[in-house]
Amino acid sequence: MQEQQTLKFKVMMEFNESLLPALYKTPQEFAAEVRLLAATKWYELGRVSQERAAEIAGMNRSDFMLAISRLGVSPFQYDYEDVLEEVENVG
């Protein structure tokens, strides 16, 4: 089987340096937090899977689950229909 090659790209954003002390972050910590926040929101919206979100955040899946829990986001993303289907399948 042939392994699929993944292409990488960079996203560049500019921020005023005065933001860093206000957030108590180094540039590296700030970049990691931005990645985590973007991945968390995309996961919360259902745009990416938990596994893909963890990859975007630069974490393994269990660390991602812990991180989003600290941000107040449930690692379990179920909508109303999913819950009803689960309940129906139990009985």
11-70 per-position pLDDT tens digit: 888 988 898 898 899 999 999 999 999 999 999 999 999 999 999 999 999 999 999 999
CA distances (Å), 73 to each of 4, 21, 70, 82, in order? Answer: 32, 26, 7, 18
Residue with tokens 């990488």: 8
0.95 exceeded by pTM: no
Evaluated on CA atoms 22, 33, 64, 40, the torsion sign reads positive
